[in-house]
Each structure stands twice: as structure tokens, then as C-alpha cells.
């Protein structure tokens, strides 16, 4: 979604793309997660995506605590979280993807807990 596009759609597209990336690259992301304290959040790529989430949240939901929400959504994209939800809780990838969009707080997002 380029400049001037719908901010809600741009945020949803980013969250969905980050989920797809995390799911596809779980082994690499898990290696990063155990590299050391805060490694998942402090590496250059993660800082870029957290900043992009923050920027898109600020556009889609001005006046909210976008910094916290960006970190909360990014944390939910951890490979260990996604694997747990799929393998232990039996959630589908689509349910998790929709839940992440809902967690971002977009108006009209699917309700949490939807199968």
C-alpha cells in the first residue's frame, strides 16, 4: 500500500505479510529469539518493522498508544508464539493472521477467538 492509500488496509496488509514471513521463516526467527536477551526486538530488521508498525498504527489509529501496540503486535509474531498457537492450541494460520489484524485494533477487525 503506497502513500495516499487506505491506512487501515495498509496496516492490515503489513500485519498479514509479517505473519506470513514469520510462519515461513520460523527456524531462522527462533534462532534469533534465543540469541540473547532482547535480541528479537533489538536487531536492525526488527527495529525497522516495529517502526513501520508504529508509523502505520499512528496513521490508522491516531491518538492511541501506538508504540505499545506496535510492540504487542510484533511480540505476537514471535515464532515460538505462532508455533504454540498452531501446534498446541490447534489454531489455523488464518485464525492467527486474522487475530493479529484484530490485535492491531483496526475498526471492524475480526473478533478474537474466531475459529
Structurally, the chain folds into a number of domains equal to 1
Largest distance between two CA atoms of the chain = 41
Q: Which of these, 73, 80, 16, 18, lies nearest to 45 by C-alpha position?
A: 18
Residue 62 lies in a domain: yes
Residue 2 lies in a domain: no
* pLDDT for 65 beyond 60: yes
Instruction: Report the candidate in 4, 8, 18 with the shortest Cα–Cα distance to residue 75.
Output: 18
Domain contains 61: yes
Is the residue at 115 inside a domain?
Answer: no
Can you give the pTM of this predicted structure? Answer: 0.83
Q: Does the residue 85 lie in any domain?
A: yes
The answer as to whether 25 is a domain residue is: yes
The predicted model gives 6-33 an average pLDDT of 91
**CA geometry: angle 39, 42, 43, nearest 5 deg:** 80
pLDDT above 50 for 113: no
- Residue 110 forms part of a structural domain: no
Q: Which domain holds residue 25?
A: 7-103
20 inside domain:
yes
All three cell numbers of 63: 491518538
CA 86: distance to chain centroid? Answer: 16
Amino acid at each position: 500500500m503506497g502513500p495516499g492509500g487506505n491506512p487501515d488496509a495498509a496496516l492490515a496488509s503489513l500485519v498479514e505479510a509479517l505473519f506470513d514471513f514469520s510462519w515461513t521463516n520460523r527456524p531462522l526467527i527462533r534462532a534469533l529469539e534465543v540469541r540473547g536477551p532482547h535480541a528479537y526486538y533489538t536487531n536492525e530488521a526488527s527495529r525497522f518493522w516495529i517502526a513501520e508498525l508504529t508509523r502505520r498504527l499512528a496513521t490508522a489509529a491516531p491518538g492511541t498508544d501506538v508504540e505499545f501496540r506496535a510492540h504487542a503486535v510484533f511480540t505476537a509474531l514471535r515464532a515460538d508464539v505462532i508455533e504454540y498457537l498452531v501446534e498446541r492450541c490447534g489454531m489455523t494460520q488464518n485464525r492467527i493472521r486474522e487475530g493479529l489484524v484484530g490485535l492491531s485494533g483496526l475498526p471492524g477487525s475480526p473478533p478474537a477467538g474466531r475459529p
